Amino acid sequence: MFESEPESAADPEDADPTTAKPRLERQRILKAGADFIEQFGVRQLTMRRLGTELGVEAMSLYRYVPSRESLLDGIVETVIDQLYEDPEVYVEPRHGWQDYLLRLAHGLRRLALAHPQVFPLIATRPAEAPWVRPPLRSLRWVESFLKALTSTGFSEKAAVDAYRAFSSFLIGHLLLEVAAMGADVGPVEEAEPHPPKEADLGGYPLLQRLQKLLSEDHSAQEFEESLENLLDRLENLAG
């Protein structure tokens, strides 16, 4: 995992971040935090534990992060910033707004599925400004979104409406999808891997009969269909 001490270096451009610890920078902490959450859940992330994870005392982290809360904020931020590194997602529309939105939606879904434990934080943590909604949590992405639409035929009002519709669609779908994966913004879950947690279906005959149907996973396909439906609806706004 770690251990190996080529310390010194100092080179701020980190050519290869996987080799050894390059002196505990903010990015390294946030990355480790994200990984930790993905592995053990938010509840398990404490300053002390993250410290030992990085081979360092808890208090050392405070040089780079003012508090646990802002650590979480930072983690959320770095995770959604990965959208910029997704080669499938364009910050500017290249083949029309539909293509732009499709790529953006798929990129966000990929992000959510890659970070099922972090995603609920993305969804519920307060944003930079009240009208910046999850999961597009940053001003930059909102700007990108609005620009993409207004530059391809949407009126400003239509673009804003589209932004709202898009946000709530994505948040709803992705949150439920990662929740179904066993996301765990809440209880501890300790060492138990996952007891099937069979509920008592006595008295719920329909549930009993439809249980199989209900537990089938069509998320990907549902996502696709609903997304297309959304785009169709937006087409009417475009004008």
Q: Is 95 in the site for DNA (CB under 7 A)?
A: no
Q: Is 193 in the site for a copy of itself (CB under 8 A)?
A: no
Q: Is 20 in the site for DNA (CB under 7 A)?
A: no
Which lies closer to DNA via its Cβ, residue 42 or residue 142?
A: 42
Report whether 73 contacts 37 (CB < 8 A).
no
Separation of CA 93 from chain center: 22
Of 78, 9, 92, give the one whose Cα is nearest residue 38: 78
Specify the amino acid at residue 59: M
Of 165, 171, 149, give the one whose Cα is nearest residue 230: 165
CA distances from 112 to 29, 129, 152 (A): 21, 22, 28
Q: Is 63 in the site for DNA (CB under 7 A)?
A: yes
Question: Residue 129 touches which of a copy of itself, DNA, none (CB < 5 to 8 A by kind)?
Answer: a copy of itself
CA distances from 38 to 190, 197, 219 (A): 14, 22, 21
Per-residue x/- track, 44-83, a copy of itself (CB under 8 A): -------------------------x--xx----------
Applying CB under 7 A, among 59, 180, 201, 220 the residue interacting with DNA is 59
Q: Is 191 in the site for a copy of itself (CB under 8 A)?
A: no
Contact partners, residue 222, CB within 8 Å, separation at least 6 = 173
Report whether 168 contacts 136 (CB < 8 A).
no
Q: Is 101 in the site for a copy of itself (CB under 8 A)?
A: no
Report whether 146 contacts 160 (CB < 8 A).
yes
Question: Residue 95 touches which of DNA, a copy of itself, none (CB < 5 to 8 A by kind)?
Answer: none
Tally Cβ neighbours within 10 Å of residue 38. Answer: 17
Q: Is 222 in the site for DNA (CB under 7 A)?
A: no
Q: Is 69 in the site for DNA (CB under 7 A)?
A: yes
Applying CB under 8 A, among 150, 224, 237, 238 the residue interacting with a copy of itself is 150
For the CB of residue 15, give the shortest distance to a copy of itself in the complex, in Å.
29
List residues binding a copy of itself (CB under 8 A).
Answer: 69, 72-73, 120-121, 123-126, 128-134, 139-140, 142-143, 146-147, 150, 156-157, 159-161, 163-165, 167-173, 175-176, 179-180, 182-188, 197-199, 201, 204-207, 209-211, 213-215, 222, 226, 229, 233
